[in-house]
């Protein structure tokens, strides 16, 4: 019975893993893509419901402490599952319209999500490594989903080679930390007294590995290429679910395994945060391709999130979690709209100038895009503003004034490239020959819900921030 209880402890991950296997079998024996899609949606929805319920108090250990679940980990699971659910729903229409709707997509997404769920609840270097790799290997496959699309396959190759490279650093860091402390448990590594050179080399390599996964400058080279080349809804998945999972795991590693070295890694993250914000925003300014612009914007967002990690207090961590939530909502939405414009085969909607006048052709989509982009800029009353405000406020409390100044200036610069999309959508004359397809009910309803949540948590963030603030006792 003990083992059954342990399975129940991380029920969302078990459900998703089971659903992945089930969907794979369904595809092999029944070959009905619609059925596979429905099964995937249903199981993801169930897992999301359970994960949301788990945020309120359910917590526990499983598998001899390899997994700890509850509080922050449950919130990470919620973020990952929101990303997965929206990706699955948007992918169906997008892949059908672009003519590459194959059922394997859903099982790969589910297995990737399983890896992310393990990653957010990992309390040991072994589970951490397995979570990251299960997630990454599925993402390599998903990036190269369309086999005869040159750019997609190229993106997959670049992602794969740099991913394998960064795995080497991550694993070397883990090996050295294990060598220094003699244990693979995060909490045991924290109790180490004698910190020699092996320990510090391990910390440095582990940070490099994580910086690759969260695409901090200068380890961001793969991000724009992969985000541009991969199918757009899959890009949304990589940009939101996998990044949220990596950030939650990063918080756990920093707060559980390396709390005593906070002064040292605080300085390192301070530096990388500034680099990421400045370079991410500056390069986003010069992009003409919308997906590539959003890729650089997600790098810039990683920079803002790193401000919170550099502050390293409980308040800062809960601000980071809120930021990740807002980031997930608005990025899923923005990539969803970009994917919608890409439905139109034969029309080229990759460059920002081709968006001219589209805002009036399908007014709902135009308005939704405006909401998501304004939220990314950080304009009230959207959730992106609250996220930025809380991260900056937590950093000011820790005396990181210079970091906040750079952050505010960088997000002021970001107004240019976000508004450029809107100016094209609304203020330029459109080509009268273009007619846009009406999006399906499910597709537009999903995007409308995302926009509604963006506004709701921008106007009334109190409940969520209180909940996130209450996590510190059980999770760090």
Partner 1 sequence: MELDWYLSLSAVLFTIGVIGVLTRKNAIVVFMCAELMLNSVNLTLVSFSAQHGDVHGQILVFFSLCVAAAEAAVGLAIIIAIFRNHLTVDISQINLLRW
Contact set with partner 1 (CB under 8 A): 125-126, 129-130, 133, 137, 140-141, 144, 147-148, 150-151, 153-158, 160-161, 164-165, 167-169, 171-172, 174-176, 178-179, 182-184, 224-225, 228-229
State the minimum distance, in angstroms, from the CB of residue 125 to partner 1: 7
Q: Give the residue with the Cβ less far from partner 1, 137 or 464.
A: 137
State the minimum distance, in angstroms, from the CB of residue 137 to partner 1: 5
Contacts with 425 (C-beta within 8 Å, 6 or more apart), sequence order: 355, 356, 357, 358, 359, 366, 369, 370
Write out the two tokens for 461. Answer: 């963030």
State the minimum distance, in angstroms, from the CB of residue 287 to partner 1: 8
Q: Where are the beta strands (DSSP E) in 230-286?
A: none
State the minimum distance, in angstroms, from the CB of residue 124 to partner 1: 9
Q: Give the residue with the Cβ less far from partner 1, 155 or 239.
A: 155
Q: Give the residue with the Cβ less far from partner 1, 197 or 441.
A: 197
- The residues facing 68 across adjacent strands are 61
Q: Give the residue with the Cβ less far from partner 1, 228 or 375.
A: 228
State the minimum distance, in angstroms, from the CB of residue 6 to partner 1: 18
DSSP string, 333-363: HHHHHHHHHHTSTTS---BGGGGTTHHHHSH
Q: Give the residue with the Cβ less far from partner 1, 165 or 360.
A: 165
Instruction: Specify whether the CB–CB gap between 206 and 239 falls below 8 A.
Output: no
Instruction: Specify whether the CB–CB gap between 92 and 231 falls below 8 A.
Output: no
Q: Give the residue with the Cβ less far from partner 1, 21 or 164.
A: 164
Q: Give the residue with the Cβ less far from partner 1, 131 or 303.
A: 131
State the minimum distance, in angstroms, from the CB of residue 175 to partner 1: 4
Strand 67-69 with 60-62, pairing: antiparallel
Write out the two tokens for 214. Answer: 């969260």
State the minimum distance, in angstroms, from the CB of residue 160 to partner 1: 5
State the minimum distance, in angstroms, from the CB of residue 50 to partner 1: 27
Q: Is 431 exposed, middle or buried, given 0-12, 13-18 or 19+ CB atoms closer than 10 A?
A: exposed
Q: Give the residue with the Cβ less far from partner 1, 129 or 247.
A: 129
CA distances from 21 to 85, 91, 143, 188 (A): 17, 19, 21, 35
DSSP string, 147-197: TT-HHHHHHHHHHHHHHHHHHHHHHHHHHHHHHHHS--BHHHHHT-----H
What span, in angstroms and rounded, lies between the C-alpha atoms of 294 and 297? 5
What span, in angstroms and rounded, lies between the C-alpha atoms of 288 and 111? 34
Contacts with 426 (C-beta within 8 Å, 6 or more apart), sequence order: 357, 359, 360, 366
What span, in angstroms and rounded, lies between the C-alpha atoms of 70 and 51? 9
What span, in angstroms and rounded, lies between the C-alpha atoms of 265 and 262? 5
State the minimum distance, in angstroms, from the CB of residue 434 to partner 1: 26
Whether residue 218 has a cis bond before it, omega within 30° of 0: yes
State the minimum distance, in angstroms, from the CB of residue 302 to partner 1: 19
Q: Give the residue with the Cβ less far from partner 1, 130 or 415.
A: 130
What span, in angstroms and rounded, lies between the C-alpha atoms of 376 and 364? 19
What span, in angstroms and rounded, lies between the C-alpha atoms of 414 and 334? 15
Q: Give the residue with the Cβ less far from partner 1, 109 or 391.
A: 109
State the minimum distance, in angstroms, from the CB of residue 250 to partner 1: 19
Q: Give the residue with the Cβ less far from partner 1, 33 or 139.
A: 139
């Amino acid at each position: 019975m003990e083992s059954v209880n342990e399975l129940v402890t991380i029920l969302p991950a078990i459900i998703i893993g089971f659903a992945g296997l089930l969907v794979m079998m369904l595809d092999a024996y029944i070959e009905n893509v619609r059925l596979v899609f429905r099964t995937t949606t249903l199981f993801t929805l169930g897992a999301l419901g359970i994960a949301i319920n788990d945020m309120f108090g359910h917590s526990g250990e499983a598998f001899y402490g390899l997994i700890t679940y509850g509080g922050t980990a449950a919130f990470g699971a919620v973020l990952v599952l929101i990303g997965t659910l929206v990706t699955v729903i948007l992918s169906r229409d997008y892949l059908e319209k672009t003519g590459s709707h194959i059922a394997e997509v859903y099982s790969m997404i589910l297995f990737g999500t399983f890896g992310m769920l393990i990653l957010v609840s990992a309390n040991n270097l072994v589970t951490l490594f397995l979570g990251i790799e299960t997630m990454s290997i599925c993402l390599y496959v998903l990036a190269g989903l369309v086999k005869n699309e040159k750019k997609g396959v190229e993106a997959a190759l670049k992602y794969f080679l740099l991913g394998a490279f960064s795995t080497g650093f991550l694993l070397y860091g883990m090996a050295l930390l294990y060598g220094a402390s003699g244990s693979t448990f995060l909490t045991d590594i924290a109790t180490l007294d004698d910190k020699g050179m092996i320990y510090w080399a391990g910390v440095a390599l582990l940070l490099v590995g994580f910086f690759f996964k969260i695409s901090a400058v200068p380890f961001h080279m793969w991000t724009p290429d992969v985000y541009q080349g991969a199918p757009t809804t899959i890009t949304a998945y990589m940009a939101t679910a996998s990044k949220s999972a990596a950030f939650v795991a990063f918080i756990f590693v920093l707060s559980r395994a390396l709390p005593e070295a906070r002064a040292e890694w605080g300085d390192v993250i301070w530096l990388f945060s500034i680099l990421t914000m400045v370079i991410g925003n500056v390069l986003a300014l010069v992009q003409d391709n919308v997906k590539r612009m959003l890729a650089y914007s997600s790098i810039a967002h990683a920079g803002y999130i790193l401000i919170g990690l550099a502050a390293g207090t409980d308040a800062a961590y809960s601000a980071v979690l809120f930021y990740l939530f807002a980031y997930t909502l608005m990025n899923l939405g923005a990539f969803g709209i970009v994917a919608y414009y890409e439905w139109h085969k034969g029309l080229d909607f990759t460059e920002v100038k081709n968006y001219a006048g589209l805002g009036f052709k399908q007014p709902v989509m135009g308005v939704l895009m405006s909401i998501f982009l304004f939220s990314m800029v950080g304009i009230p009353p959207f959730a992106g503003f609250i996220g930025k405000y809380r991260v900056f406020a937590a950093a000011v409390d820790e005396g990181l004034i210079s970091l906040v100044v750079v952050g505010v200036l960088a997000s002021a610069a970001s107004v240019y490239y976000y508004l450029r999309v809107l100016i094209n959508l609304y203020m330029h004359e459109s080509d009268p020959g273009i007619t846009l397809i009406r999006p399906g009910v499910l597709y537009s309803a999903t995007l409308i819900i995302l926009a509604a949540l963006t506004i709701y948590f921008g106007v009334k963030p109190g409940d969520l921030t209180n909940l996130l603030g209450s996590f510190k006792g059980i999770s760090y």
